[in-house]
Amino acid sequence: MAFKIGFTAAEGLDDKISTKSTITVKQIESAPRRSVVQVYFAGRNMTLAYYNDRFDLRCGDIVYVDGKLEGMRGRVTEVNYNFKIKLSDYKRVIAVVDTTVNGQFFMAGSHFVTFDRDALPVSKVLTWFKAPTGDDDEFIIGQDDTTFLLNDLKGMNVSAVIAERGHEYYMENKVRYICIDGTKGYAIVEGGESYEVEFDYLGGEISGLVCSCFCSYNCKHEFAAMLQLKETLELIEKHYAAEYQRTGYFAAVTKSILFTFAIDGKEMGRFIL
């Protein structure tokens, strides 16, 4: 028996998320109310005040800010509209994470998996882990012609130490998100920070494998991602082969991450089980 989990939000049900953009944030409204917001940073166990004049913020929203905690996620715990401040004393909220999730998900081991491209695209999930990039940031990918079979990871030619660390990451569910769209694959692996793993997958063969940790060799994040990919594809083949064949796409996210972003902190919405 397949379990199906549906997530819906109280607003924005008809909105479509574009997969063309690298970063997706909530749309800036024409005239948002100025506010001073309290933001809690779990990574530092501290709450700080920030000025906001770009977004219509609500308690529970996940945001990024500028200043010393730039790049760190925080959750809005209080919104104040009645204030008078010296602007130079305050840093600002620079982005709001889009945590709206609409779609059907299936159980797949430690992960939920969806075959709907609009449910959990890379462009949305990336904001859950990394701050928006600046206009001046430029990224270049270089790839060699190395290939190996997913069913034989010895072809990655990683050391025993890297394989062991990568296996630990896999067992600890640090491959937070992984997807394949056609032949293009993408994963987010959390270590000291969040790393992006990209690859091509065709006929059981992996090529073009790269990681944003900038190692000059296959790393533990890549090895963990391959282990997770192998497990997820095996579960899909066993239980959801028709769904995958129909769309040629899947995205899998750890259960804890999906609940953390799609449900925690929300004051409105529906959850169907």
Digit-coded pLDDT (tens) for 46-77: 999 999 999 999 999 999 999 999 989 999 99
Task: Using the 3D structure, point to which of 69, 96, 123 is the last residue of a domain.
Answer: 96
Same domain, 41 and 72: yes
Q: How far apart are CA 181 and CA 125, in angstroms?
A: 15
Same domain, 147 and 200: yes
Q: Is the pLDDT of residue 195 over 60?
A: yes
On whether residue 273 sits in a domain, the answer given is: no
Residues β-bridged to residue 46: 41
Q: How far apart are CA 45 and CA 61, in angstroms?
A: 17
Same domain, 189 and 124: yes
Tens of pLDDT, residue by residue over 2-54, are 445 555 544 433 333 333 333 444 544 457 899 999 999 998 999 999 999 99
* Residue 57 C-beta-side C-alpha neighbours within 13 Å: 32
Same domain, 91 and 215: no
Same domain, 39 and 90: yes
Task: Using the 3D structure, point to which of 45, 65, 96 is the last residue of a domain.
Answer: 96
On whether residue 55 sits in a domain, the answer given is: yes
Same domain, 123 and 148: yes
* Confidence at 136, pLDDT banded by 50, 70, 90: low
Supply φ then ψ for residue 166, to 5 degrees: -65, -40
Same domain, 73 and 107: no
On whether residue 216 sits in a domain, the answer given is: yes
Same domain, 169 and 255: yes
Give me the pLDDT at residue 134, please.
Answer: 63
Q: Are 115 and 246 in contact (CB under 8 A)?
A: yes
Give me the pLDDT at residue 30, please.
Answer: 58
Q: How far apart are CA 41 and CA 34, in angstroms?
A: 21
pTM as predicted = 0.82
Give me the pLDDT at residue 1, please.
Answer: 41
Same domain, 33 and 88: yes
On whether residue 257 sits in a domain, the answer given is: yes
On whether residue 236 sits in a domain, the answer given is: yes
Instruction: Match 């206009």 to its residue by tokens.
Output: 135
On whether residue 11 sits in a domain, the answer given is: no
Same domain, 153 and 250: yes
On whether residue 267 sits in a domain, the answer given is: no
Q: Which residues contact residue 218 at a Cβ distance below 8 angstroms, ignoring those fewer than 6 apart?
A: 156, 157, 158, 162, 209
Alpha helices in the chain (DSSP H): 122-129, 160-171, 220-239, 241-247, 255-262
Same domain, 108 and 149: yes
Domain that holds residue 58: 25-96
On whether residue 8 sits in a domain, the answer given is: no
Name the domain count of the chain: 2
Same domain, 109 and 91: no
Task: Using the 3D structure, point to which of 76, 96, 116 is the last residue of a domain.
Answer: 96
